[in-house]
Amino acid sequence: MAKTTPATLALSKAGVGFELHPYDYDPDAPRVGLQAAEALGIAPEQVFKSLMVLVDDKPACVVLPSDCEVSMKKLAACLGGKSAQMMKPADAERLTGYKVGGVSPFGQRKAVPTVIDETAQLFDTILINGGQRGLLLGLSPDGARLAANATWSDITA
- Residue 2 reports pLDDT greater than 90: no
Query: What helix, strand, coil percent values describe the chain, rounded to 5?
Result: 30, 25, 40
- DSSP-derived secondary structure letter, 156: B
User: Strand 84-86 vs strand 47-55: parallel, antiparallel, or unpaired?
Assistant: antiparallel
Beta bridge partners of 22: 135
- Which of 99, 75, 95 has the alpha carbon at shortest distance from 87? 95
Confidence of residue 29 (pLDDT cuts 50, 70, 90): confident
Which SS3 state, helix, strand or coil, does residue 58 take?
Answer: strand
The pLDDT, as a whole number, for residue 132 is 93
Q: How confident is the model at residue 32 (pLDDT cuts 50, 70, 90)?
A: confident
Asked whether residue 1 is assigned to any structural domain, the reply reads no
Q: Which residues in the chain belong to E strands, given as ranges?
A: 19-22, 47-55, 58-65, 84-86, 114-117, 126-129, 135-139, 151-153
- Answer for the pair 104, 113: CB distance below 8 angstroms, yes or no: no
Tell me if 86 is assigned to some domain. yes
Predicted local confidence at residue 89, as pLDDT: 95
CA-based torsion, 87, 24, 1, 150: positive or negative: positive
Q: Report yes or no on 80 lying in a domain.
A: yes
How does pLDDT run across 38-94, given as a tens digit for each residue?
999 999 999 999 999 999 999 999 999 999 999 999 999 999 999 999 999 999 999
User: What are the tens digits of pLDDT across the range 85-128?
Assistant: 999 999 999 999 999 989 999 999 999 999 999 999 999 999 99
The residue range of the domain holding 32 is: 6-153
Helix H or strand E segment including 64: strand 58-65
Q: What is the CATH number of the domain that holds 23?
A: 3.90.960.10
140-153 tens-digit pLDDT: 999 999 999 999 99
